[in-house]
Structure 1
Amino acid sequence: MFELNVVTNDEKHCTVEISGEIDLYTGPDFRDKLYSVISEEEKDFILDLSKLNYIDSMGLGLLVGALKRVKEHQHNIIILNPQNNVRKLFRITGLDRVFIIKEKES
């Protein structure tokens, strides 16, 4: 189970907090909710993953798909505060070179 909440939405960016687990079972609902948020705005998105406990390859693929959609409008997705196990998956898959990953919001 996961939760996705928009915590800030200003002129420059939209911050989305994602918590729980994203896997094969929650992936379709996660995709629908995330893509709905990013399709409403043409700006940078900050995905706060500090409360995301688990993500599998499907979830990572959905994040890549979201990044492609955002980049079509010359914007970006920033991954904020991923837990160590999530950060490790980004590193193992090479996605740490695709996404901007920050430890705290600046």
Structure 2
Amino acid sequence: MSMNISSKLDSTNSFWDVLIDGELDVSTCDKVKEHLYSLLDKEVLDIKVNLENLEYIDSTGLGVLIGVLKKLKVNNKEIFILNPRNNVNKIFTITGLDKIFKMEG
């Protein structure tokens, strides 16, 4: 399965708006990591990650999000996880990451 990632700057509200589709796993995590870190190289802002079209996430994908969150926390910024599907939301809940990330939707 493939993965697509797109992003845009919401300069009005000062955050990165990111959409991830497909599967975030060991075969796609490097692409996501590079994309998110390139955003932070441009400007360190809160990141809103829309997961409404994400079908699957594994521990490697979670690790990428945790790494980005650590970099953001140094600057008092957050990652907001928006609209996760039930199966993806369950992974965040089982791992306790629903308490670490700001979950919405």
1:69 equivalent in alignment to 2:71: yes
Query: Partner of 1:6 in structure 2?
Result: 7
- The runs of 5 or more residues in structure 2 that have no matched partner are none
The residue type paired with residue 13 of structure 1 is F
Q: Identity rate of aligned residues, in percent?
A: 40
- The runs of 5 or more residues in structure 1 that have no matched partner are none
1:85 equivalent in alignment to 2:48: no
Distance 1:38 1:49 in 2: 19
- Runs of 4+ residues deviating >4 angstroms: none
Query: Partner of 1:35 in structure 2?
Result: 37
Query: Partner of 2:59 in structure 1?
Result: 57
Which of 64, 80, 101 pairs up with 1:99? Answer: 101
TM-score by length of 2: 0.91
CA contact (8 A) 1:79 1:102 kept: yes
| Pairs within 5 Å for 1:8-23 | 8-11=9-12, 12-23=14-25
Deviating more after overlay: 92-101 vs 68-77: 68-77
Report Cα offsets for 1:9-59 as digits up to 9, x if no partner: 214211111111111111122211121123322211100011111110000
The residue type paired with residue 15 of structure 1 is D
Distance 2:45 2:8 in 1: 15
RMSD (CA atoms): 1.2
The residue type paired with residue 16 of structure 1 is V
Q: Cα 1:8–1:42, aligned 2, differ >3 Å: closer, same or farther?
A: closer
How far does residue 8 in structure 1 lie from its aligned partner after superposition? 4.3
